[in-house]
A and B are shown apart, each in its own frame.
Chain A
């Protein structure tokens, strides 16, 4: 009815490879994009800058990580450290007098080079050992940032982001910051979508699935693993910089701690490994579900339906978040993207249920 597969014919290879071959999907994307662009018009500043904006930036970060974990199959439990490198180097580059645009690229490159260093060290191993090696990277980067005052910004260890302009737009108003985050999310989304349908993505997936079969068709698996680390760390670094400038505006090392790394992995897994829409859904879910649950319980407590100590209330987000990860892994290992896909498939044949494939 809404989704029509019949009538979609490809007469050119270009259209056969387009991003959303089904017209309804394309309309949805355009509508969502329009809604996102118009958000400052109908959304209060509070919602815009404390929900929409961080959601977009975290989605971009989750997308960067899903490129590495989902598409290239390399596990990373220290991605928050990569973002930290991006955030801190962008601030220092701007402070050194360079324009913000250069600082963003510099942030990406710095994160990519340091990320690759750890990647290269860890690429001899895979699976569990890669998890441990990246975990060690997280602790090392944290320590360096905390213990070098020149990086962390002195004794109070808080670093204010300087005022900047991006493409001649001063990044001060809520709307400007929001559009900055939106632009970055769109760029990362397009990049990951396009990587998935081009030779680069295919080579990464090949190395992930069967490295020996990949090598016999000419894919240098070490090179592509390293490229995956590079690209993903670059995107992660810029995401960290965008997060610092558009959202936090004052960075401390704790904002990029080990728990944040786990949170990113949780976003990717809850959303669905390797899925683009999953990164958005996962980021939203991991950010909002614990807050939502706490509010529900707090509301119930205020109404007198159940008695909860403030101490327990304070720990509900942590429990909810742990339970969320466990629940998804047990009951829907393919994540929210799979749930979305099921719904979409249902509507593909609706109202003719019998032809469901």
Chain B
């Protein structure tokens, strides 16, 4: 493990410091320390129930941590509500796609622009003099993201009729529409076949380059993690058991034990 990484704090954009989250008697996060650096793709792996999604929910304000601090760009965000976290420049996608079913793909992505818009009933009433300008301006931005993620063909479709792989892409597009500096992807490739996975990886890398993003990626597909993550942390049972480059972390005995069980002999 590369210990020098943890000591140097420069370049760290999101830091978790001793984050604890309990549900009743269950301690889901037992004091997690993490430092994610500006511009990197950071992988978060671990068995089911190890606390990955809980950690992400803690960062995004759904389950605020009971102890510890979460610092983003130098300011503590662990007391913020989810919608406030969003306006700080953090966006995320969900494990099971959380799109708005009744709306078209375009409207879903336009919703991603919400933090830049000033919605009001009065503006709507005077649409032609007031709201239209704003709608059109944001539509331009959204079209760029549609271009980037190649969603042109489904632009006007209702989201619930397009295939799952496409829905995940729309969710990514909605997150990108908020122009985040920090993007959290919760299993963006779950349930995808090899081809769809490769597409998704390409889109994630494209987006990172185009928008200069820092990405926190939760993923079970280890091939993807080793391919695109600069560093990974491995969680097990609410604790961080390893951190470093993907290849090193996977070889860590504690990680092997967590995934396969303790072997009598590390042959």
Is A210 in contact with B100, judged by CB distance below 8 angstroms? yes
Q: Is B124 an interface residue (CB 8 A)?
A: yes
What is the CA–CA distance of A199 and B123 in the complex, to the nearest angstrom? 10
Q: Is B111 an interface residue (CB 8 A)?
A: yes
Is B124 in contact with A195, judged by CB distance below 8 angstroms? yes
Is A231 in contact with B121, judged by CB distance below 8 angstroms? yes
Is A212 in contact with B98, judged by CB distance below 8 angstroms? yes
Closest CB in chain A relative to B33 CB, distance in Å:
24
Closest CB in chain B relative to A26 CB, distance in Å:
15
Is B131 in contact with A217, judged by CB distance below 8 angstroms? no
Q: Is A117 an interface residue (CB 8 A)?
A: no
Choose one: A14, A205, A214, A219; the contact of B132 (CB below 8 Å): A14
Choose one: B85, B86, B92, B127; the contact of A198 (CB below 8 Å): B127
Q: Is A272 an interface residue (CB 8 A)?
A: no
Contact mask for chain B residues 101-145; partner A; CB cutoff 8 A; 1 contact, 0 none: 111000100111111011111011101000110111011100000
Choose one: B62, B140, B178; the contact of A218 (CB below 8 Å): B178
Q: Is A13 an interface residue (CB 8 A)?
A: yes
Closest CB in chain B relative to A155 CB, distance in Å:
40
> In the complex where A199-B131, A199-B134 touch, is A213 in contact with B99 (Cβ < 8 A)?
yes
Total interface residues on B, CB under 8 Å, equals 45
What is the CA–CA distance of A345 and B144 in the complex, to the nearest angstrom? 32
SS class, residues of chain A in contact with chain B: helix
What is the CA–CA distance of A219 and B60 in the complex, to the nearest angstrom? 13
What is the CA–CA distance of A314 and B233 in the complex, to the nearest angstrom? 75
Report the contact-size class of chain A (Cβ under 8 Å from the partner): 20 to 34
Set of chain B residues within 8 Å of A342, measured between Cβ atoms: none
Is A198 in contact with B131, judged by CB distance below 8 angstroms? yes
Is A220 in contact with B83, judged by CB distance below 8 angstroms? yes
Is A215 in contact with B83, judged by CB distance below 8 angstroms? yes
Is A215 in contact with B81, judged by CB distance below 8 angstroms? yes
Q: Is A200 an interface residue (CB 8 A)?
A: yes
Is A200 in contact with B115, judged by CB distance below 8 angstroms? no
From residue 190 to 214 of chain A, which have CB atoms closer than 8 A to chain B?
190-191, 194-195, 197-203, 205-206, 209-210, 212-214
What is the CA–CA distance of A239 and B107 in the complex, to the nearest angstrom? 30
Is A17 in contact with B83, judged by CB distance below 8 angstroms? no
What is the CA–CA distance of A194 and B124 in the complex, to the nearest angstrom? 5
Choose one: A187, A200, A209, A221; the contact of B123 (CB below 8 Å): A200
What is the CA–CA distance of A212 and B115 in the complex, to the nearest angstrom? 15
Is B82 in contact with A215, judged by CB distance below 8 angstroms? yes
Is B112 in contact with A200, judged by CB distance below 8 angstroms? no
Closest residue on chain A to residue B97 by CB atoms: A213
Closest CB in chain A relative to B119 CB, distance in Å:
4
Choose one: B91, B102, B139, B140; the contact of A209 (CB below 8 Å): B102
> In the complex where A199-B135, A200-B124 touch, is A217 in contact with B112 (Cβ < 8 A)?
yes
Having A13-B136, A216-B83, one finds 20 other A-B pairs with CB under 8 Å, namely: A17-B135, A17-B136, A17-B139, A190-B127, A191-B121, A191-B124, A195-B124, A198-B124, A199-B119, A202-B110, A202-B114, A212-B62, A214-B111, A215-B86, A217-B91, A219-B83, A219-B114, A220-B83, A227-B121, A231-B121
Interface CB pairs A-B, < 8 A, 23: A13-B135, A187-B125, A194-B127, A195-B124, A197-B135, A198-B123, A199-B118, A199-B131, A199-B135, A199-B138, A200-B120, A202-B110, A203-B114, A206-B114, A210-B99, A210-B100, A213-B94, A213-B100, A214-B83, A214-B111, A216-B86, A218-B178, A219-B111
